[in-house]
Structure 1
């Protein structure tokens, strides 16, 4: 997808901060205000010595910039934090909608931007670090850049409803992967791939995900993420319950010779068929429990 052009450096700053977690933007806003406010209220020198006029003018200009910047910088940072928080909410909402849906048709009703956000969240839940492409102009077929275990992976998203993704798209991504030294790549679409595209990707470090495959992957990723805390709790409870049971069934020591005892079954007498603990040194020792 091509990106809209930035209209000002301020927008670049906001977009850069929006790539960070929202709380980082809030911290930057607070730190920027405190630093610039300290400069803004710093007193100017009352007396000017020889050659100090230039320094005084620089100090006055710096104080003026700090006076304005103590409000402008936090506004930019908070705007970026708000965008970051909104994107996080949008990702979770999209994932919840997909998890509740019964079929991949839900992908067809999304905009291309929502589709990219959804795909990025799916990779995040699989343990990838995801960087979305917000640069102006052509993106060379790269919508998401992934990192995992020190390796880089490139992702191209195609939110196409009526057309199949052909081999030119796959071949283009493969060329960009080679140029950037990526370990692998993904082409993700809400539709389907042509047989030629699938044949080109076969045997290469490329994975093609069509609509049904993506839908299943997202549901599994969401389900695994939600089920992990519950699974951890169940595992802890099972371990806690198993400990007393193990202690209960642990072999005791013989009360006569202190040797380990083994479980035996009585063959005759009034206790025939019942289990009991017998000394492992039997018949030398006839201790029972």
Structure 2
């Protein structure tokens, strides 16, 4: 594109001939000349800079992934020395190598969905990355991602962490098309010892039942405490943002 734009704009960078009978044509021609004259250098430079930045980012993603792949002989934590942003880049490259088209978001650290995946079946999958080591990923993270997944009509979702998940988070993900990937599973998958695949599309969402508060879909849940402990009810998938409920 840089080469094409250069030669195209270079062909336009011709000073117009002054025609006393048509001064506006001279003004238009002069503007075209100056735009083409400088644009033939600026636009290719922008395209080349973008290409170089893309190549450098790709090289960095591949290096991060290869560091984990080739570090199987040591017992050290392969994620300890990288930042949260580098962890997202590593996870994105991991899914690229699995055949997904990856779109990275720019919402900042720990801000919502980090990656959008498109599989070979053209279905969309959401990814949230958690570069956590001090604490386990709790159930509310998985629950909120599930709500976003339903709202965006995604086929599935992944929560990928460098650490671990709580038992409550794993229980909530059971039976849903959400894959929890802890640090151990991620390393094993990168090194080829385990195969990571998206879960089949299974949903416990009652799509015919809508939340009386926000009109979102509702999911079947079981009360864990209080006078109704053990009883099932429908709760909004946007919990805890929305606390709408209905009797099962």
**Please, what TM-score do these two structures have when normalized by structure 1?**
0.61
Deviation at residue 150 of structure 1 after TM alignment: 0.9
Deviation at residue 53 of structure 1 after TM alignment: 2.9
Q: 1:94 aligns with which of 64, 69, 79?
A: 64
Matched, 1:32 2:2: no
What is the aligned-residue RMSD (CA, Å)? 2.3
Matched, 1:145 2:112: no
Verify the 8 A CA contact 1:104 1:212 in the aligned structure 2: no
Aligned to 1:180: 152
**Please, what TM-score do these two structures have when normalized by structure 2?**
0.71
Q: Residues of 2 paired with 1:121 and 1:44: CA distance?
A: 51
Q: Which of the pair is proportionally richer in strand?
A: 2
> For 1:113-141, what per-residue CA distance to the aligned partner results, in whole angstroms no more than 9, with x for missing partners?
2111111111111111111123x679861
Aligned to 2:179: 207
Q: Residues of 2 paired with 1:221 and 1:48: CA distance?
A: 79
> For 1:160-189, what per-residue CA distance to the aligned partner results, in whole angstroms no more than 9, with x for missing partners?
121211122212221221222211110100
Higher mean displacement: 122-131 or 30-39: 30-39
> For 1:187-213, what per-residue CA distance to the aligned partner results, in whole angstroms no more than 9, with x for missing partners?
100011111211221111111101001
Aligned to 1:58: 28
Runs (5+) with no aligned partner, structure 2: 196-248
Deviation at residue 63 of structure 1 after TM alignment: 1.8
Q: Residues of 2 paired with 1:222 and 1:63: CA distance?
A: 60
Aligned to 1:253: none
Verify the 8 A CA contact 1:36 1:69 in the aligned structure 2: yes
Aligned to 2:162: 190
Q: Residues of 1 paired with 2:109 and 2:171: CA distance?
A: 27
Aligned to 1:67: 37
Aligned to 1:160: 132
Larger radius of gyration: 1
Aligned to 1:255: none
Aligned pairs, number: 192
Higher mean displacement: 178-187 or 53-62: 53-62
Matched, 1:82 2:52: yes
Deviation at residue 43 of structure 1 after TM alignment: 3.9
Verify the 8 A CA contact 1:186 1:206 in the aligned structure 2: yes
Aligned to 2:234: none
Q: Residues of 1 paired with 2:104 and 2:19: CA distance?
A: 53
